[in-house]
Structure 1
Amino acid sequence: MAAPLLQAQVDINAPVSKVWALISDFRRMPQWSPQCRLMRPLGPVRQGTRTLNLNRRNRMFWTTTSTVVEMVPEEKLAFRVNMNNTIWSYELEQIPGGTRVIESRHAENGVKAVSDMAVNALFGGTASFERELVEGMNASLARIKAAAESG
């Protein structure tokens, strides 16, 4: 059974506007996420926008689609992965000296049965896969931090 909430956070020495520009540019998602190879929005990024995604884990590739479910500029961006109904979000908060970013994977209502079966059959089970997702969140946030703090 999927954990209801997975989360990671980072403090970045850059203004919210700069961090938002990086996070809200879905085409750059492969630069941040170790698992994402492609994220293409089908139109301007706003609530309701759908994306086509390509993910990779070792030698395995799979496609998904997602839908932006919440967008508050410079505050929050959330999208639902349609294949499993999880919601991924980035929340930005201005802090002294920069921006705090919290990345979350919400599965409070569980995931679709087909997703559970795939994770157990192909990814070594839920616990192992979710540990890998949190590691990926931390890697993504570290990459966003590096990009935001450079030049």
Structure 2
Amino acid sequence: MSEQIDLSFDIEATTKVDASPDEVYRVVSDITRMGEWSPECTGGEWVLGEPGAVGSRFHGHNRAGEETWTTECEVVAAVPGREFAWAVLTYARSAETSVWSFAIEPDGGGCALTQRYRMQEPPSRFASYLRGMDDDQAAALGAKRRAMLEDAMSRTVAEIKAAAEG
């Protein structure tokens, strides 16, 4: 695989939610319930620090097809009613390499919820897998993963919307 192939992601999905920013924040900051909304994340548990506070850590459990994996993550932003974000520490060279976030912006009587995923470089296990491929194969696999994430994120914000409005 050529070093020319860009396998970074900066993806987002947004929806309007008819609930207060504080209520939406309570939903998105409860990682123990993420499996209820995400088609890839099956759940998580807090392992260090005060749940939901900056610096606290959790294990996130994931599934895509037959593959399952667990990541260790650290909360990097926790502003009630505004933003909740975590860095994936597992497989990353630095905390900025892979960050998931939810931004909440007041919008009339409700809010706009945006989920964002920024990955500057692929996890080492994914990069190792790609090394055996030619450029076209690696690019196709990267495009497939991007499409899967875009779909999953759209479904996740729709499910969070339903939970917050319910």
Normalising to structure 1: TM-score of the pair?
Answer: 0.88
The Cα offsets for residues 9-63 of structure 1, whole Å up to 9 and x where unpaired, read as 0000111111111101110100111001121122421111111121111121111
| Alpha-carbon offset, residue 2 of structure 1 | 2.4
CA distance in 2: counterparts of 1:4 and 1:55, whole angstroms: 18
SS in 2 for 1:103: strand
CA distance in 1: counterparts of 2:153 and 2:128, whole angstroms: 23
Gaps of 5+ in 1: none
Q: Note if 1:35 corresponds to 2:46.
A: no
Moved more, 75-84 or 6-15: 75-84
1:127 to 143, 146, 149: 143
**Displaced runs of 4+ in structure 1, greater than 6 A?**
none
SS in 1 for 2:104: strand
Matched AA of 1:144: I
| Alpha-carbon offset, residue 117 of structure 1 | 3.2
| Pair 17,149 (structure 1): closer, same or farther in 2 beyond 3 Å | same
Normalising to structure 2: TM-score of the pair?
Answer: 0.81
Partner residue in 2 for 1:111 = 122
| Alpha-carbon offset, residue 65 of structure 1 | 0.9
Partner residue in 1 for 2:53 = 46
| Pair 58,112 (structure 1): closer, same or farther in 2 beyond 3 Å | closer
Partner residue in 2 for 1:72 = 79
Matched AA of 2:127: D
Matched AA of 2:13: A
Q: For the aligned residues, what is the CA RMSD?
A: 2.0
Contact (CA 8 Å) 1:41, 1:52: kept in 2 or not? yes
Gaps of 5+ in 2: 1-5, 133-139
**Same amino acid, percent of matched pairs:** 28
SS in 1 for 2:52: coil
CA distance in 2: counterparts of 1:118 and 1:131, whole angstroms: 19
Moved more, 138-147 or 75-84: 75-84
